[in-house]
Structure 1
Amino acid sequence: MEEYDFAGKTILPFCTHEGSGMGGSERDIKRICPSAKVEKSIAIHGGSVKSAAGTIKSWLS
């Protein structure tokens, strides 16, 4: 991300995890891309991925 210009762009942070959630990723993205709009992130537990479609659709809207 450090190599690209995200000025004026919107970033939707997401990840899968096994217990750590987003960790410091959202904070790091905001620091690395200060001119971007960083929306609320979503972290899906790895064991819940198969049943997360509704949660992801809701997050996207």
Structure 2
Amino acid sequence: MAVFTFLEGYDFSGKTIIPFCTHEGSGMGRSENDIRKVCPAATVLRGLPIVGGSVRTAEDAIRKWLGLPRP
């Protein structure tokens, strides 16, 4: 809920929000839709969910999501 308290406390009108999270099976869940409800004047792009146990090997997935080349 800390993230939603933060989002509710600021005006994100005209801003782009790109969420990311770690999880253990739920993926992004309803997060993107919930963010759209809290920040209706912002653009919310597709987020990146990473399985918590895969964080150490997620660099390629993160680079792909960001549109960066492999090192």
**SS at the partner of 2:41?**
coil
Q: CA RMSD in A?
A: 0.7
Give 1:26's aligned residue: 32
| 2:58 pairs with 1:56 | no
Higher relative contact order (CA 8 A, sep 6+): 1
TM-score, normalization by structure 2: 0.81
Question: How many residue pairs align between the two structures?
Answer: 61
- Greater helix share, 1 or 2? 2
Structure 1 outlier segments of 4+, above 2 Å: none
| In the alignment, structure 1 residue 42 sits paired with structure 2 residue 48 | yes
Structure-1 separation of matches of 2:42 and 2:21: 19
TM-score in terms of structure 1 length: 0.93
Deviation for aligned residue 1:57:
1.1
CA shift for structure 1 position 55: 0.5
In structure 1, the gaps of 5 or more residues are: none
